[in-house]
Amino acid sequence: MSVHAFEAVNAEGQDIRLEQYKGRVLLIVNTASQCGLTPQYEGLQQLFQTYADEGFAVLGFPCNQFGGQEPGTDEEIKDFCTLNYRVTFPMFRKVEVNGPEAHPLFRYLREQAPEDADADPNSGLYGHLRAKFPELLEGSNIRWNFTKFLIDREGNVVKRYSPTTGAGAIETDVRTLLSKTTS
């Protein structure tokens, strides 16, 4: 099984089979428009623009599970991303990423990469989570908005990045995967 086995509905309401991304390196991100991390859209868009022609895509999945920071409709979210951050990478309908209603793709991603590879338990984010949302630190739960999953060309989950990790810190890993040919 791989990421390519899943489907999701894009922001325009179309069913998208992720197998259409076979041969591409992906960065799958749960996003939010009213989060302190929302400016990461800028770096994600820049990363997408820089490497799209080499076979890279960012897939954005809005989620309202973290402090209610994504309350808008799918259309409002897409408009916000386009107007404020000039996002051109694919955006999907709002999903849940934790709990019994989690989208199957995110259950799979969490199973394949249960921990943030670069988590800093002494960071402000983790301190906040320990104090206010300790359940998010349990098991493979996604900790907050802007958790990122790097996927290779075959659809395998390579790495999970913490919410505070910006696109610039991921760029070397993206370039490494892009330099590998498919088997």
- For the chain, domain boundaries: 3-179
Note the pLDDT tens digit of each residue in 95-146: 999 999 999 999 999 999 998 888 888 888 888 888 988 888 888 999 999 9
Q: Provide the phi-psi class of 23: left if phi over 0, else alpha when psi is between -120 and 50, else beta.
A: left
How many residues does the structure list for the chain?
183
Say which CATH superfamily domain 3-179 falls into. Answer: Glutaredoxin (3.40.30.10)
Q: For residue 62, report the phi and psi dihedrals to the nearest 5 degrees.
A: -60, 145
The pTM of this model reads 0.94
Q: Regarding beta strands 157-161 and 148-151, do their DSSP bridges make them parallel or antiparallel, or are they unpaired?
A: antiparallel
Cβ–Cβ under 8 Å, residues 11 and 74: yes
Residue 168's DSSP bridge partners are: none
Active site residues: 35
